[in-house]
Structure 1
Amino acid sequence: MTESKTFADLIEDLLPQTQCTKCGYPDCRAYAEAIARGEASYNQCPPGGAEGVARLAKLLGKPVIPLNPDNGVERPRPVAFIDENLCIGCTLCMQACPVDAIVGAPKQMHTMVAELCAGCDLCVPPCPVDCIAMIPVTGDKTGWDAWNQQQADAARARHDARRARLAAEREAAEARAAARRAAAAAAGGPASSSTSTAASSPTERATAAPAPVSDAEAKKRAIIQAALERARKKKEDNAAQGLGPKNTTNISAETQAKIDEVEARRRRLGIATDDSESTPTQNNGQPDKL
């Protein structure tokens, strides 16, 4: 028996599934649900373009209206390109990519799998060294002419798989933390349990004395710091040539939270950054001017 689809399901089926957040929502599903509830207009999806608005208007029984310029413009589909000479392996772009199109590891050069890139731009703002450029690959074709249903379905599948993987990783981490707390409580009684709980709080971790640094850890930090210094010099050279940063796209609150979390982790590790290496922050829901 075929499963009955909700109105939000039907709307989501008409979206390009780039998960770019330009509509103002964290992903295509959230936007579809907002349209179904009457909380969002059907002209807020730049990747779908004019044809996307027409498709949604037909489903909703409403007139075709122009794409809302506040959400962006219809354009040829771009693919992210990572400059290997500048990449420092910080993994911020990997964490921002909603369709797992970036391959890499901490402190190793990252690579974009062009066939999987949805052109969402979300990997660009987090990059602390501006090593990612969005390169148009569809000529004059824009909107749904630059994207097809097969690509949309594949992007949705990767996005859903990524969400499931992240949820499983969070659950596993919570289970490990609960097991450690239980083991500490069993070994030390109520006092130990209380101490463990207090020590695991963010405030306690932030104010606790730093642990001794081993020679290997010191060497690792020195390597990372040297990479940041090289990136800083490259950024200064680009600025001298009038080449400004490429980080010009909006950052969703969810993505910004992930960036902030990684930056906080880097600070706890003692990896120094200055303002030129810091990631963009939100001002009343808008990105900083660059």
Structure 2
Amino acid sequence: MSISFAVITIGVLAVIFGLILGYASIRFHVEGDPLVDQIDEILPQTQCGQCGYPGCKPYAEAIANGDDINKCPPGGESTIKKLADLMGVEAKPLDAAHGEEDSKKVAFIREDECIGCTKCIQACPVDAILGAAKHMHTVITDECTGCDLCVDPCPVDCIDMVPLVQTTSTWNWDFSASPKGDIPIKMVS
């Protein structure tokens, strides 16, 4: 009898706490800022930190709070123009203090020199590097955003940033200029 009483008591407490948590999640729900979400969609999602923020979402929040829109080298001039249109401000040139806009680059690990220290894996914000401790590592080029964060931690300097070769699998249409979004207009580099 004491075991069944304990099970029933725990079940009743679970239901009570579940109801309290359900009510609290509805009552104290915080809506996100839709402007931050729109800005975050425009940013390139490289999570590289070149803007001075730890990722694209914190930079989007800073822009919504009045920070400059020209601190994103991976996004370049096209991102600055889209942000200027959204925010209703004048587009400024890319801030050189945060880097230069260049062609898309990806990390390349010279596998014969890799010692398997996993420091590049820990530094990669998008998990584009595969490998295990004391084994060679490699980069999934389709996942690499070219943020360059894996280069500095490498103790043997076996990571290079190489230009992404334009192929049929890496070439994309930019649908943003189309009125309906279904007619390709120009190539995104």
TM-score (normalizing by structure 2): 0.70
List aligned pairs for 1:33-52, cutoff 5 A.
Answer: 33-38=61-66, 40-52=67-79
- The alignment status of 1:22 with 2:47, answered yes or no, reads no
C-alpha contact 1:77 1:137 (8 A) present in aligned 2? yes
C-alpha contact 1:77 1:147 (8 A) present in aligned 2? no
Where do 5+ consecutive residues of structure 1 fail to align?
140-145, 150-290
Match of 1:8 in 2: 36
Match of 1:74 in 2: 101
What secondary structure is seen at the aligned counterpart in 1 of 2:53?
A: coil
Structure 2 counterpart of 1:71, one-letter code: H
What secondary structure is seen at the aligned counterpart in 2 of 1:100?
A: coil
User: Which runs of structure 1 show a deviation greater than 3 angstroms over 4 or more consecutive aligned residues?
Assistant: 146-149
How much is the aligned-residue C-alpha RMSD, in angstroms?
Answer: 2.1
Match of 2:141 in 1: 114
What secondary structure is seen at the aligned counterpart in 2 of 1:59?
A: helix
2-side partners of 1:61 and 1:70: how far apart?
24
Structure 1 counterpart of 2:46, one-letter code: T
Where do 5+ consecutive residues of structure 2 fail to align?
1-30, 175-189
- Relative to its length, the structure with more helix (as a share) is 1
Note the alpha carbon deviations across 1:249-271, whole angstroms, 9 max, x for none: xxxxxxxxxxxxxxxxxxxxxxx
What secondary structure is seen at the aligned counterpart in 1 of 2:80?
A: helix
Q: 1:103 aligns with which of 104, 119, 130?
A: 130
What secondary structure is seen at the aligned counterpart in 2 of 1:22?
A: coil
Q: 1:55 aligns with which of 74, 77, 82?
A: 82
Task: After TM superposition, give the deviation of residue 115 of structure 1 in Å.
Answer: 1.0
- Relative to its length, the structure with more strand (as a share) is 2
What secondary structure is seen at the aligned counterpart in 1 of 2:162?
A: strand
1-side partners of 2:38 and 2:50: how far apart?
20
Give the count of matched residue pairs.
141
What secondary structure is seen at the aligned counterpart in 1 of 2:59?
A: helix
Note the alpha carbon deviations across 1:111-165, whole angstroms, 9 max, x for none: 10111111110000000000000001156xxxxxx8778xxxxxxxxxxxxxxxx
TM-score (normalizing by structure 1): 0.46
2-side partners of 1:93 and 1:129: how far apart?
11
C-alpha contact 1:19 1:120 (8 A) present in aligned 2? yes
